[in-house]
């Protein structure tokens, strides 16, 4: 019976954040102390640079409450992954409190960045670069 009570008190919100080819599954839980875990590692261990860490925590800074964040990220590069986590956190915060939507939208955290590398076409060297043309 104690396990049922524990599960009921620990309600979480799960959302998906994306940027370029990176995808993040993010769970936020109201907590006493803020913690962020990405792929089973603490935030500072997974995202080494201060800029990437701040990018992830920007969306949390807009909320007045403290949350525990657990994220599973795959695909893309390290910057794309950081911003995918931020996108997921922002979506989860809006699901938790609709009043945060205006702030997060103005900051640009709810926009999914769709830019991806264009595929290579046959007969060309890259997506658009063609082989050198010679007249004779």
Mean pLDDT of the chain: 90
**What is residue 2's predicted lDDT score, i.e. its pLDDT?**
47
Q: What is the mean pLDDT of residues 59-81?
A: 92
On the question of pLDDT at 76 being above 70, the answer is: yes
Q: What is the mean pLDDT of residues 92-113?
A: 92
Please check whether the domain covering 7-107 is classified as CATH 3.30.230.10: yes
Residue 1 — pLDDT band, cuts 50, 70, 90? very low
Kind of pairing, strands 13-19 and 35-38? unpaired
Percent of residues in the chain assigned helix, strand, coil, to nearest 5: 40, 25, 40
On the question of pLDDT at 62 being above 60, the answer is: yes
Tally DSSP H helices, then E strands, for the chain. Answer: 5, 5
d(C-alpha 72, C-alpha 50), whole Å: 20
Which carries the bigger pLDDT value, residue 97 or residue 9?
97
Q: What is the mean pLDDT of residues 100-108?
A: 92
Beta bridge partners of 67: 30
Residue 65 — pLDDT band, cuts 50, 70, 90? confident
């Amino acid at each position: 019976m104690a396990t049922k009570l524990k599960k009921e008190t620990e309600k979480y919100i799960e959302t998906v954040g994306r940027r370029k080819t990176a995808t993040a599954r993010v769970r936020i839980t109201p907590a006493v102390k803020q913690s962020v875990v990405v792929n089973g590692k603490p935030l500072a261990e997974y995202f080494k640079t201060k800029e990437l860490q701040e990018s992830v925590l920007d969306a949390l800074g807009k909320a007045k409450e403290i949350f525990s964040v657990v994220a599973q990220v795959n695909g893309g590069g390290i910057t794309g992954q950081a911003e995918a986590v931020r996108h997921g956190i922002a979506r989860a915060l809006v699901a938790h409190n609709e009043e945060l939507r205006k702030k997060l939208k103005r900051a640009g955290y709810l926009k999914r960045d769709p830019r991806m590398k264009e595929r290579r076409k046959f007969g060309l060297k890259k997506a658009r670069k063609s082989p050198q043309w010679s007249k004779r």
